């Protein structure tokens, strides 16, 4: 992001880097989406349990992904400064940090059933969610290692491999789900456990594919040579940058996980509708998440060069692109809710009409927070690019948990608005985060880099 780069050149760079990253995030999410859709066609009870078990796995996974996301700006800055040795060091220690995190959280995943019961879920949902994570829990290691390698390749602007490996993973997941959930192709009918087997298979296959590519495409970094040797300085650097990102991720996904718990208090059908609406909104959110990764890489490159004007212009372009996508999403949510929700249930599902009616209202509420949700994730990406992670962590924690969760409970239960009230509370929390994080970036990060010049 040089100062002489035009807005058109910035836009071309953002789109060129962003399309494969957006595609890879969409493909990655399609794995979860396929699980939920197929479980919905199998049984609404299994769908509700899949939402809860999957939410618990995702909360811990996205928290651990903080170390992977720390690798992205560190590699981008090191590469921009011409320090190839530092590229290798931080990536390797990102792998170390991810393995250690997986060891720490696996016991929680294996204890999903009593945790769900303690959170007030029905016995059936708790039991099935426990069945899911007793298998899927072991996917935490390959899933996190895949995230580190994806961040490494994204920072090197090798986004095509990230896209195509993830697309292949979607196909594998759908095939294994088809066989094991329903008992097709001569396989046993495993229901929700079959979805778990499919997920762990996909993460393992993706990891092998990315390792093979790294060995062949980037031999100069020798990522896996003497991988068992610690690099305490680099590990400390990854940890210092990564743990605030992980806590920030935890605050955000924990907000939605808590909303799932509250929806579970309303009953199985509201929880199923919430799960469907959450999957739909998450699909569109992947666009902004991919653009946020672009923002991290481009801001990291500008940070490595000390290029304040380039940082400012690049940020303006990526925010404009994201805002356009958010406005298009609002139109879709308000005009096509029924066809979208119908994709997740069999036509003869007895509860289809009731779940659809609830889901339509939830998507209308979701339309209200598209712009602010896009704004807050882009601000996070920009702040990570300039390696500013601790203040955003505090902003996220306060916005999501001191504002969002109380508002969800107040609107949903105290004021009797039900599921719509829970989702409107999410909108309040996301709005608070979006405004404060954008103010942090434009009021401090950009000014700091300008002053440093």
For the stretch 241-261, pLDDT in tens is 999 999 998 888 888 878 888
Q: Is the Cβ–Cβ distance between 341 and 359 less than 8 Å? A: yes
Please name which of 92, 164, 445 lies closest in space to residue 295, comparing C-alpha atoms. Answer: 445
The predicted pLDDT at position 338 comes to 92
The Cα–Cα gap between 71 and 86 comes to: 11
pLDDT reading at 47 higher than 70: yes
- CB-count exposure of residue 133 (10 Å: 0-12, 13-18, 19+): buried
pLDDT tier at 450 (50, 70, 90 boundaries)?
low
Q: Which whole number is the average pLDDT over 58-63?
A: 87
pLDDT reading at 71 higher than 80: yes
pLDDT tier at 451 (50, 70, 90 boundaries)?
low
Q: What percent of the chain has pLDDT over 90?
A: 46
pLDDT reading at 314 higher than 50: yes
pLDDT reading at 122 higher than 90: no
pLDDT tier at 3 (50, 70, 90 boundaries)?
very low
Q: Which of 68-72, 152-156, 204-208, 254-258 has the lowest mean pLDDT?
A: 254-258
pLDDT tier at 226 (50, 70, 90 boundaries)?
confident
Q: Is the Cβ–Cβ distance between 300 and 72 less than 8 Å? A: yes
127 Cβ contact partners less than 8 Å away, ≥ 6 residues apart:
49, 113
The predicted pLDDT at position 409 comes to 95
Record the tokens describing residue 63, joined without a space: 């928290």
HSE, side-chain direction, 13 A CA sphere, residue 26: 13
The predicted pLDDT at position 1 comes to 41
The predicted pLDDT at position 34 comes to 80
Three-state SS string over the chain comes to: CCCCCCHHHHHHHHHHHHHHHHHHHHHHHHHHHHHHHHHHHHCHHHHHHHHHHHHHHHHHHHHHHHHHHHHHHHHHHHHHCCCHHHHHHHHHHHHHHHHHHHHHHHHHHHCHHHHHHHCCCCHHHHHHHHHHHHHHHHHHHHHHHHHHHHHHHHHCCCHHHHHHHHHHHHHHHHHHHHHHHHCCCCCCCCCHHHHHHHHHHHHHHHHHHHHHHHHHHCHHHCCCCCCCCCCHHHHHHHHHHHHHHHHHHHHHHHHHHHHHHHHHHHCHHHHHHHHHHHHHHHHHHHHHHHHHHHHHHHHHHHHHHCCHHHHHHHHHHHHHHHHHHHHHHHHHHHHCHHHHHHCCCCCCCCCHHHHHHHHHHHHHHHHCCHHHHHHHHHHHHHHHHCCCCHHHHHHHHHHHHHHHHHHHHHHHHHCCCHHHHHHHHHHHHHHHHHHHHHHHHHHHHHHHHHHHC
The predicted pLDDT at position 438 comes to 92
Q: Is the Cβ–Cβ distance between 149 and 210 less than 8 Å? A: yes
Of 26 and 401, more confident? 401
pLDDT in tens, 346-377: 788 788 889 899 999 999 988 887 888 888 99
pLDDT tier at 453 (50, 70, 90 boundaries)?
low
Record the tokens describing residue 439, joined without a space: 């103010």
The Cα–Cα gap between 157 and 326 comes to: 25
The predicted pLDDT at position 112 comes to 93
Q: Which of 268-272, 304-308, 367-371 has the lowest mean pLDDT?
A: 304-308
pLDDT reading at 68 higher than 90: yes
HSE, side-chain direction, 13 A CA sphere, residue 355: 28
Q: Which whole number is the average pLDDT over 230-244?
A: 94
Q: Which whole number is the average pLDDT over 37-61?
A: 82
Please, what is the angle between helix 123-136 and helix 44-80, to 10°? Answer: 40
The predicted pLDDT at position 309 comes to 80
The Cα–Cα gap between 89 and 41 comes to: 46
Q: Could you count the other beta carbons within 10 Å of the beta carbon of residue 21? A: 24
pLDDT in tens, 186-202: 888 898 889 999 989 99
Q: Which whole number is the average pLDDT over 44-66?
A: 84
The predicted pLDDT at position 276 comes to 86
pLDDT reading at 116 higher than 60: yes
pLDDT reading at 150 higher than 60: yes
Record the tokens describing residue 17, joined without a space: 């880097």
329 Cβ contact partners less than 8 Å away, ≥ 6 residues apart:
284, 287, 367, 370
The Cα–Cα gap between 75 and 95 comes to: 13
């Amino acid at each position: 992001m040089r100062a002489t780069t035009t807005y058109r050149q910035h836009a071309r760079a953002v789109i060129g880097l962003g399309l494969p990253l957006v595609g890879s995030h969409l493909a990655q999410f399609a794995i979860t989406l396929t699980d939920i859709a197929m479980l919905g066609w199998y049984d609404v009870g299994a769908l509700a349990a899949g939402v809860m078990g999957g939410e618990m796995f995702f909360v811990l996974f996205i928290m651990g992904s903080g170390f992977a996301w720390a690798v992205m700006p560190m590699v981008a800055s090191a590469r921009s400064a011409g320090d190839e040795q530092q590229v290798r060091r931080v990536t390797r220690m990102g792998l170390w940090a991810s393995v250690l995190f997986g060891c720490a959280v696996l016991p929680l995943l294996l204890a999903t059933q009593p945790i769900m019961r303690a959170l007030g879920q029905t016995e059936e949902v708790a039991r099935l969610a426990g069945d899911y994570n007793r298998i899927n829990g072991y996917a935490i290691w390959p899933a996190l290692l895949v995230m580190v390698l994806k961040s490494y390749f994204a920072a090197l602007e090798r986004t095509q491999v990230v896209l195509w490996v993830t697309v292949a993973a979607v196909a594998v997941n759908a095939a294994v789900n088809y066989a094991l959930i329903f008992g097709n192709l001569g396989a046993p009918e495993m229901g929700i456990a079959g979805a778990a087997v499919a997920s762990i298979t996909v993460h393992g296959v993706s990891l092998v594919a990315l390792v093979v590519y790294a060995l062949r495409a980037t031999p100069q970094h020798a990522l896996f040579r003497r991988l068992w040797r610690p690099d305490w300085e680099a590990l400390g650097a990854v940890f210092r940058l990564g743990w605030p990102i992980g806590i920030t991720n935890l605050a955000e996904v924990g907000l939605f996980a808590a909303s799932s718990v509250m929806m579970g208090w309303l009953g199985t059908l509201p929880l199923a509708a919430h799960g469907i609406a959450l999957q739909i909104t998450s699909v569109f959110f992947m666009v902004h998440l991919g653009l946020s990764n672009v923002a991290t890489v481009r801001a990291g490159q500008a940070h490595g060069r000390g290029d304040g004007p380039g940082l400012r212009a690049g940020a303006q372009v990526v925010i404009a692109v994201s805002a356009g996508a958010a406005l298009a999403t609002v139109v879709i949510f308000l005009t096509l809710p029924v066809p979208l929700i119908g994709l997740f249930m069999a036509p003869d599902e007895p509860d289809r009409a009731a779940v659809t009616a609830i889901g339509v209202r939830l998507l209308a509420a979701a339309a209200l927070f598209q712009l602010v949700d896009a704004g807050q994730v882009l601000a996070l990406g920009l702040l990570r690019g300039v390696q500013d992670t601790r203040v955003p962590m505090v902003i996220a924690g306060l916005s999501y948990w001191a504002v969002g969760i109380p508002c969800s409970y107040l609107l949903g239960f105290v004021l009797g608005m039900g599921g719509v009230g829970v989702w409107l509370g999410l909108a309040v929390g996301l709005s608070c985060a979006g405004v404060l994080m954008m103010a942090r970036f434009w009021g401090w990060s950009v000014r700091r880099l300008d002053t440093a010049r």
